[in-house]
Amino acid sequence: MALAGKNILLGISGGIAAYKTPLLVRQLVQAGAQVQTVLTRSALEFVTPTTLAALSGRPPRLETFDIEAESAMGHIELARWADALLIAPATAHTLARLAMGLADDLLTTLALATPASLFVAPAMNQQMWAHPSVQRNLTQLIDAGCRVIGPESGEQACGDVGEGRMSEPEAIVRSLIESFAPQRLAGRRVVITAGPTREAIDPVRYISNHSSGKQGYAIAAAARDAGAEVVLISGPTALAKPPGMEFVAVESARDMLAASQAAAPGSDVFIGVAAVADYRPAQQHDRKIKREKTGDMRIDMQMNPDIIHSVARSDRRPQVVVGFAAETNDALQHARDKRVRKGLDLIVVNDVSLPGIGFNSNDNAATIISAHEEVVLHKQSKDALARALISAIADLLDSQLAPTNPESAPQ
């Protein structure tokens, strides 16, 4: 009953993902919440008021000018009643209306009238999600204090595959539960590297790796949601730029090093999630190398700078430095050695040879290793793993602030 005593306004807009909302209502009620649903006109095409009333115990609200409802609990009273306004699914059209501050139906009127926190769970086609207008509207909403849950990547109703699927009800409820806990990184500055690097051979070819950036982006979002000021330094990915944080795009390992050295000083936490290329071509040709008729081509390689070691050993080291290790054998021992060798507070290791986790997957499994313990995170979504890591980092920051001898602390 983690939401016991909480009043949740659930706004439902007109997208195919609305078919998930009856299950969402049920899980909110099971978590102890009082749920009042509010439907847009187009939502009626996807879910019935009868179903929602049966699950929530309250008839859905549909119209601003509902004489019976206004006589009992007007829209202002309803806005005051809420502890949170959750809109799921939040279509591109709904996000645009919220960003513009429109009040052209009951749902958007409530969004303006309520002092409660606003949460949106976007759901739309992957191309719509990536559109600059949608991302601009999201950024504006986040800057105004809105929390964004998801979306997820996967197959969509239209047949496309990509980001834009509404998060599952379990993930939405979990995010709502976590939102009522204190923002554990409020006032903290967190720098995160993500994605691969590309090391140019010539103007056409480069050396890189299979990193999609999904785990790093998920960690950046989790840190943002925990109240941190986030700087995300990203190599080339196909992911949409996460809203609500500073974003620095880089290409090569040397680019990422320069950006990290500029951002890390004065930060509280540095998390090196990026899969940085260990080597780069010793010579970068300014023209395309033509294929020879006979013989093989050989490329001399030289070592790239060690970004995480540079940050961990710097004079203005962040309070907590976290590294990642993607291994294919003897994962734990390699990670233990790497943590000590590079001077890290925590290292997160996963075995990328295992099917269904790691590079390009939506799921991951890992072990968080510190000087004192090893915490196993079993297979779960990368968003869930990101939240677990941020919680572990917050625990470490809290322990560093605690007095070493509690009996000697001021009373």
* Total Cβ atoms within 10 A of residue 91: 25
Strand partners, 196: 275
Name the phi and psi angles at 362, rounded to 5: -85, -10
CB 124 within 8 A of CB 135: no
Q: How far apart are CA 261 and CA 161, in angstroms?
A: 36
- CA gap 351, 384 in Å, rounded: 18
321-to-95, 267, 310, 312, 313 alpha-carbon distances in Å: 36, 10, 11, 6, 10
Name the phi and psi angles at 265, rounded to 5: -60, 135
Which residue of the set 54, 100, 157, 158 is catalytic? 158
- Residue 213, Cβ neighbours under 10 Å: how many? 23
CB atoms within 10 A of CB 63: 14
Contact 240, 217 (CB under 8 A): no
Q: Which of helix, strand or coil describes residue 119?
A: strand
Q: Are 198 and 207 in contact (CB under 8 A)?
A: yes
DSSP three-state, residue 168: coil
- Region label for 5, one of left (φ > 0), alpha (ψ between -120 and 50) or beta (otherwise): left
| Cβ–Cβ under 8 Å, residues 121 and 168 | no
Q: Cis before residue 151, ω within 30 degrees of 0?
A: yes
**Counting Cβ atoms within 10 Å, is residue 49 exposed (0-12), middle (13-18) or buried (19+)?**
middle
The helix or strand, by DSSP H or E, that contains position 376, with its residue range, turns out to be: strand 374-381
- Whole-angstrom CA distances from 89 to 111, 133, 279, 384 are 15, 18, 44, 20
**Token digits of residue 9:** 């306004």
CA dist., res. 297 & res. 128, Å (int): 43
Q: Please say if 146 is a catalytic residue.
A: no
Catalytic residues: 158
